[in-house]
A and B are shown apart, each in its own frame.
Chain A
Amino acid sequence: KAGVTQTPRYLIKTRGQQVTLSCSPISGHRSVSWYQQTPGQGLQFLFEYFSETQRNKGNFPGRFSGRQFSNSRSEMNVSTLELGDSALYLCASSLGTSGDNYNEQFFGPGTRLTVL
Chain B
Amino acid sequence: AQSVAQPEDQVNVAEGNPLTVKCTYSVSGNPYLFWYVQYPNRGLQFLLKYITGDNLVKGSYGFEAEFNKSQTSFHLKKPSALVSDSALYFCAVPLVFGAGTILRVKS
Measured CB to CB, the residues of A under 8 A from B are 33, 35, 42-43, 45, 48, 56, 58, 90, 92, 101-102, 104-110
Contacts and interface: CB of A to CB of B under 8 A. Distances in A.
A43 B43 contact: no
B43 A102 contact: no
Interface stretch (B63-71, B72-80, B92-100): B92-100
A66 to B, nearest CB: 14
The B interface, classified by DSSP as helix, strand, loop or mixed, is strand
A110 B94 contact: no
Contact of A108 (B34, B43, B97, B100): B43
A45 B51 CA distance: 21
A3 B90 CA distance: 20
Contacts of B95: 33, 45, 48, 56, 58, 101
A25 B5 CA distance: 29
Given A33-B95, A48-B95, A110-B43, A102 B100 contact: no
A92 B95 CA distance: 10
Interface in B5-20: none
B100 A42 contact: yes
B100 A43 contact: yes
B100 A109 contact: no
Nearest to A6: B43
